[in-house]
Each structure stands twice: as structure tokens, then as C-alpha cells.
Amino acid sequence: MKNLYTILILVGILSLQGCTKKQETKGNDVTTIENPYLGQKPPGMTAIPFAPGLVSTEIYEYDGAFASDMKAFYFIRRGEENKKSAFYEYKYNETNGAWEKSEIASPWIGRPVISPDGEIMHLGDRYLKRTESGWSKIQKLEPPTVSNDSMYIMRLSSSANGTYYFDTYKEGDTAFPIRYSRLINGKHEEPKALPKAINTGTFLSHPFIAPDESYLLFDATKEEGIGDSDIYISFKQKDGTWGNGINLGDQINTTAWEASASITPDGKYLFFNRNVGSDNYENVDIFWVDAKIIETLRPKE
């Protein structure tokens, strides 16, 4: 009887621990987004404007970026009445399931790219840090990443291990290369230009690095391109070198200007910009397409 009593006590304790563990697990579940992607119907393999009327309108919108938890969307708009430009956020309200729009800054403060861990919003040569109350005040990158006042970083993207990939625009120069800077012992090293497999052509801009550095998206103007500026992808090879830039093809690129490609944090969709107006760029929209298009371009081993 004594042994049986002991067994029953142990079973009761284990059952109680199991219930507590289940409750804790349930309490830590990420809240399901009832209407993700601003409530938009996801695209297939044909690129379409993102959130017509909400984000993509008849003026200039570009550089859309989701937060790492997919509960906030950031973009820039230019051409509104009485505004030179503005930086907006659509934030998901977990209480009522609505996406609520707010203005973060006017004029805009840089092209947003969220770090893989969600803690940094890169804005070219500046950035914001996530805090308990939201985003911090804007901060500026320090040398050696930014080492020359005449150089201007339009877009910077970081990998999961902290390596920066960025363009380096210089007034009057069209052949500026895309560079990278590794994080070593807590500091970024002197930037180095990527190889010619990537840095070929002109106006090499707006790089986006995969979190695991398996591929790099960028845009450039090349003689063999489809249009004004096309989006390309380079895949990291087994030996650690970069493969030649591959044009994303006519499912993405047209005779117009396409640029600033990125992948959503959930890995499902590719976002990019397209000029749908005249040569004055008065109407640029944010487009999206199924990210599976990347796998169709990956070289077969």
C-alpha cells in the first residue's frame, strides 16, 4: 500500500507539472494574425501591386518592409499634397485585428530594412534600435562603414551574423560598387567591394542579403538587361564564392525601372519597386510576388 501511495503521488505531481507546462507553452504562443499582409490576397508567380489604395497609389511609394514578427509594415511615400515625402507604418492591432496606419517621420529618414533578429531598422547610413517603447531616436553609423562624407549609402542590409551589405553612391559616379563589412569581435571591418560576378554594370544599388548569406538581391543597369534598371540575384556557391548575377527575368523585370528587392521575414514573398509612371517617376508602386521564383533561378548542383 505504501508503494502504491508513493506511485500515486508521483503520478499526480507529474500530471500537475505537465498541465503547468502546457499552460506556459500556450501563454508563449505567438498571436495568430487573422488578416496577414494588410489583409491582402497573396500573389502567385506573377507580380502584382501590394495593397492598392492603402500602400500602392497613383503617386510614389517605395521600399516596403515588414517587421520580423510580420505585425508592422513600413514604407515611404512621396508626392502627397503639402508633403515632400513621408515615412509610414501600418501596425497590426491584436485586439480588433485591424491594420492601423501612422506617420513615423516627414520627410522620410531612409530606406527601411529590418535586421534578421528584428532589433535594428537599417536606414542606409543611419539606423533605429528597437526599445521597450518602440523605436529609438535615429542614430548614425560610425567609421569604418561610413568613412567618407562624399559617399552616400542608399540601402544597407545585414545578415544573421551581422555582416553589412550596402551600396555606396557618390555624386557624379555611376559605377559605384556594392560592398560588405563583416562583424569581427564586435566591430565592423573596413568595407570591401564584392567581386565582379556581382559588381558588373552601372548603378549597382539596393542590396538585400539573405539572413544566411546564401544569396544577394540587387539592382543594376546592364547592356543585356531588360529595362532601365533590373533586379538580379547572386547565389553563394559551395566554395564560398559568389556566382554571376542572374536577371530575375520578365516575371519581375520589364522595360521600366525595377529596384529595391527584398524577401519578407517569413520567407514567402519577394517585394520590389516598379516605375509605372513616366520617365519623371511620378508614380512608383510596391509590387510583390511568390518568393518561389528564387528557387526557379537557383543553379542546379
201-232: b (≥16 Cβ within 10 Å) or e: bebbbbbbbbbebebbbbbbbbeebbebbbbb
Q: Which residues contact 239 (CB under 8 A, 6 or more apart)?
A: none
| pLDDT given for residue 150 in this prediction | 64
User: pLDDT for 53-96, tens place per residue?
Assistant: 999 999 999 999 999 999 999 999 999 998 889 999 999 999 99
User: pLDDT for 151-173, tens place per residue?
Assistant: 789 999 999 999 999 998 777 67
- Residue type at 25? T
244-277: b (≥16 Cβ within 10 Å) or e: ebbbbeeebbbebbbbbbbbbbeeebbbbbbbbb
pTM for the model stands at 0.87
